Amino acid sequence: MSEQYDFVLSGGGSIFLLKPVTDEAREWVEENVSREGFQPYWPMVCVEWRYLDALLDGIDGMGLTVDAIERALG
């Protein structure tokens, strides 16, 4: 049985895509991420690598989960 994550993280290099896959994750994005700037796939979030750790810390702080690769970055 596979674990259900709240977010799926993909991409690499300078840009990552963070896709909310649960209602809780979509609500977190609406409350915590600005739509201003370049967000063409809302509620999927385009994030530069330099802001990724802060975003993941916020998600983790709320008890939400992200599919595996974020820990490989650290």
Write out pLDDT tens, residues 14-51.
999 999 999 999 999 999 998 887 888 888 999 999 99
Domain that holds residue 25: 7-73
CB 48 within 8 A of CB 12: no
Cα–Cα distance between 74 and 7 in angstroms, integer?
Answer: 17
Cα–Cα distance between 8 and 69 in angstroms, integer?
Answer: 9
Q: Is residue 67 part of a domain?
A: yes
Alpha helices in the chain (DSSP H): 23-32, 49-61, 69-73
Domain tally, the chain: 1
Cα–Cα distance between 23 and 54 in angstroms, integer?
Answer: 21
Is pTM beyond 0.85? Reply is no
